[in-house]
């Protein structure tokens, strides 16, 4: 009975479905792992997908020209699966060594956007060429095995295609919802590799190659042990930071000075907490989300103090993009009744409490705080809450999963959740934004809020170096914001922690604080009068422009704001 059921034909069909499942597990895991080096911009993600599909097409084409001449198809099916599995293991071992050639490529071409993208595609293609070509080559082999006669070729091919497609549905589900959350990215790749190797051994049982299995097993076991006991270094050189280095020696010196104290691969991102000479840093998929570095602490705190000092009596505050909790901790210094915080990654919530409580006033233990592990936009779509102050400081919009928190539609959604006298502060990553992107985002914000002002995070910057990049903040409201110097002065002096935080930034008076406001409403209108573009859900311009700025390293400066 079993022999009739598990014929070569039926076994090949089931194996092809499982092969499709492992292929999509690879696609999900490899995308995440490669993003640690190549970044997660819309261009990087599209390039990865193009390279993956190009390999499948090439493999299917090459094998299609030869498959009718092959005699022992089960053997070739097994060899292809074995090759994919071994490459999956080698991918984990060799990935850290991709950093050097990519750094060289970046140094050579980063000033030329389109040539760089084409070179990046070729780089991706070379990395994925071997496994994806073998994946593509399996389709003609299985089609040949499963096809019984020419009269039913359409029906037979439909079964083959359906089996592989079903596996391709299961693969991303298993990777995203089960494997990566439970065992991490590297072990997820190893699960896929193990599936390929087991399929190879099964197919060899139907071939003339079965007598050689006993010689293959020790080699296969060695590769599996190597793979399962190999772990990636927590810190990889990400494309975000390549432009800050002049040589590979400088890169190695910098990376060797970073001491990781926490590393976890989760369903949303790979989170690292690392100690450096400057302080403690939190990274998500290679991008710095928060740190105790002086420059970062300044903008993480000031984005809370701007609306909290200006609003006469905020009672309910929402912080979108909690990160390490520094902004939330600064909000907690005021006598508010309720603080809601949004953070999409539960791992970041955990490390915020475990590693950064000393710096965020242990804010997550404050009974006024409620943390929602959800996307910020989804939260606003599903809640009826209204707030006196909303502060949005998510990750950089260059990442494909973040740009929707910088669009006109998002700003309109925030506006619906503000009380009549409410204020909304939006962080703009000026240190990674060009003047063009900055102006588009200001214009987008201006199209939603009747009254806005633009602020910076450092009052010393203008005197010290007006050509340096700065963090900027947009403050929007329904009514013109009344500047009450006496209120600001009293709030600054109300608690020692507030006085200490602001004093550490050189802000010792209401006048010092107000010096951070670069533009009022009239100046903003003049600033954007010639800008006609908006960043919207339908046309997210910023998501496509921001990667170019990261390559050219031409970011907005104080002079761009003061001398417009």
Same domain for 532 and 461? yes
Same domain for 195 and 311? no
The answer to whether the beta carbons of residues 226 and 90 sit under 8 Å apart is no
In a domain, 457, yes or no: yes
The pLDDT of residue 368 is 96
The answer to whether the beta carbons of residues 55 and 204 sit under 8 Å apart is no
Last residue of a domain, one of 288, 305, 325: 288
For tokens 């859900």, the residue is 537
Q: Which domain holds residue 140?
A: 2-228
CA distances from 280 to 29, 187, 351, 358, 471 (A): 28, 28, 12, 11, 20
In a domain, 237, yes or no: no
Same domain for 335 and 465? yes
In a domain, 324, yes or no: yes
CATH number at residue 328: 3.40.50.150
Torsion angle in degrees (nearest 10) through CA of 43, 48, 51, 53: -110
Same domain for 364 and 482? yes
- pLDDT (tens place) for every residue of the chain, 564 residues total: 445 556 888 999 999 999 999 999 999 999 988 888 888 888 888 888 888 999 999 999 999 999 988 889 999 999 999 999 999 988 988 888 888 888 888 888 888 888 988 888 888 888 999 999 999 999 999 999 988 877 788 888 999 999 999 999 999 999 999 999 898 888 899 999 999 999 998 998 888 776 666 666 677 777 677 666 666 666 666 766 677 778 888 888 877 888 889 988 888 888 999 998 889 999 888 788 899 998 889 989 999 999 999 999 999 999 999 999 999 999 999 999 999 999 999 999 999 999 999 999 999 999 999 999 999 999 999 999 999 999 999 988 877 778 899 999 999 999 999 999 999 999 998 777 888 899 999 999 999 999 999 999 887 766 666 677 788 999 999 999 889 999 999 999 999 999 999 998 889 999 999 999 999 999 999 999 999 999 999 999 998 888 888 777 778 877 777 655
Same domain for 99 and 174? yes
Same domain for 443 and 467? yes
How confident is the model over 65-109, as pLDDT tens digits? 999 888 899 999 999 999 999 999 889 888 888 888 888 888 888
Which residues sit opposite 473 in a β-bridge? Answer: 427, 455
In a domain, 134, yes or no: yes
The pLDDT of residue 5 is 56
Spell out the long-range contacts of 175-183 with Cβ–Cβ below 8 A and sequence spacing 24 or more. 175/24, 175/25, 175/28, 175/29, 176/28, 176/267, 177/267, 179/25, 180/28, 180/29, 180/32, 180/265, 180/266, 180/267, 181/266, 181/267
Same domain for 112 and 210? yes
Same domain for 30 and 47? yes
Same domain for 154 and 297? no
In a domain, 236, yes or no: no
Same domain for 326 and 447? yes
The pLDDT of residue 235 is 64
Same domain for 339 and 401? yes
Kindly report the pTM of this predicted structure. Answer: 0.89
For tokens 């987008």, the residue is 444
**E strand or H helix at 369:** strand 369-372
How confident is the model over 374-386, as pLDDT tens digits? 999 999 999 999 9
Same domain for 116 and 192? yes
In a domain, 233, yes or no: no
Structural domain total, the chain: 3
The pLDDT of residue 215 is 67
């Amino acid at each position: 009975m079993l022999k009739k059921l598990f014929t070569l034909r039926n076994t090949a069909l089931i194996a092809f479905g499982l092969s499709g499942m492992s292929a999509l597990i690879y696609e999900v895991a490899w995308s995440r792992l490669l993003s640690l080096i190549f970044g997660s911009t819309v261009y990087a993600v599209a390039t990865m997908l193009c390279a993956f599909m190009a390999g499948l097409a090439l493999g299917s084409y090459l094998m299609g020209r030869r498959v009718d001449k092959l005699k022992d198809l089960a053997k070739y099916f097994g060899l292809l699966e074995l090759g994919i599995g071994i490459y999956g293991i080698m991918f984990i071992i060799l990935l850290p060594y991709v950093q050097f050639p990519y750094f060289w490529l970046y140094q050579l071409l980063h000033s030329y956007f389109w040539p760089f993208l084409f070179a990046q595609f070729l780089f991706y293609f070379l990395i994925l060429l071997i496994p994806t070509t073998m994946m593509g080559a399996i389709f003609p082999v299985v089609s040949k095995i499963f096809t019984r006669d020419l009269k039913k070729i359409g029906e037979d091919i439909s079964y083959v295609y359906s089996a592989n497609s079903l596996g391709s549905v299961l693969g991303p589900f298993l990777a995203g919802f089960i494997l990566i959350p439970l065992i991490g990215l590297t072990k997820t790749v190893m699960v896929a590799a193990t599936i390929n190797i087991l399929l190879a051994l099964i197919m060899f049982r139907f071939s003339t190659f079965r007598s050689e299995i006993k010689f293959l097993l020790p080699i296969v076991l060695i590769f599996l042990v190597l793979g399962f006991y190999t772990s990636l270094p927590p810190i990889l050189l990400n494309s975000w930071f390549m432009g800050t280095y002049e040589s590979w020696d400088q890169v190695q010196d910098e990376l060797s000075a970073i001491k990781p104290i926490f590393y976890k691969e989760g369903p949303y991102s790979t989170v690292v907490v690392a100690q450096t000479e400057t302080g403690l840093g939190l990274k998500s998929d290679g991008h710095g989300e928060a740190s105790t570095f002086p420059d970062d602490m300044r903008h993480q705190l000031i984005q809370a103090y701007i609306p909290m000092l200006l609003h006469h009596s905020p009672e309910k505050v929402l912080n979108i993009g909690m990160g390490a909790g520094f902004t939330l901790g600064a909000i907690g210094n005021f006598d508010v009744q309720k603080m809601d915080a949004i953070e999409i990654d539960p791992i970041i919530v955990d490390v915020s409490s475990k590693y950064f409580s000393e710096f965020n006033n242990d804010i997550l233990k404050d009974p006024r705080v409620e943390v929602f592990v959800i996307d910020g936009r989804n939260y606003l779509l599903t809640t009826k809450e209204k707030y006196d102050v909303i502060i949005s400081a998510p990750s950089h919009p260059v990442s494909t999963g973040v740009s929707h928190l910088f669009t006109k539609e998002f700003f309109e959604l925030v506006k619906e959740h503000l009380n009549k006298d409410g204020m909304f502060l939006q962080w703009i990553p000026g240190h990674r934004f060009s003047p063009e992107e900055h102006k588009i985002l200001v214009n987008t914000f201006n199209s939603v809020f009747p009254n806005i002002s633009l602020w910076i995070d450092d009052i010393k910057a203008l005197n010290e170096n007006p050509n340096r990049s700065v963090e900027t903040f947009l403050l929007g409201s329904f009514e013109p914001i009344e500047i009450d110097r006496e209120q600001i002065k009293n709030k600054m002096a109300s608690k020692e922690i507030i006085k200490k935080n602001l004093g550490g930034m050189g802000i010792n008076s209401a006048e010092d604080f107000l010096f951070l406001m670069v533009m009022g409403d009239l100046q903003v209108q003049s600033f954007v009068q010639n800008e006609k573009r908006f960043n919207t859900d339908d046309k997210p311009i910023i998501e496509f422009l921001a990667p170019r700025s990261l390559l050219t390293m031409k970011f907005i400066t104080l002079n761009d704001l003061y001398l417009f």
